[in-house]
Amino acid sequence: KVYDVTGAGDTVLSAVAFGLSKGLSLLDSCIFANICAGIVVGKLGTSVPLWEEIEPINGKWEEYLNIGLWEIQK
């Protein structure tokens, strides 16, 4: 459920930058950012995603987003 979208855009930008700085691909960084923003909008007011909320999803991004396997077409 979405409670408050305040800061969702900031969360996406910072999560993409974080992912890229840690060596993730742009696609994986965007998936990571989507997960982080999804966590943030489920909270009231300005907030941040905590690692304790992100870590259980680590490695299960495709399942969490229900997107199946990614296929990049040329």
What tokens were used for 53?
């909320």
Phi, psi of 38, rounded to the nearest 5 degrees:
-60, -35
Q: Check 3, 9, 10, 25 and give the catalytic one.
A: 10
Asked if 28 is an active-site residue, the reply is: no
Q: Are 57 and 35 in contact (CB under 8 A)?
A: yes
The catalytic residue positions are 10
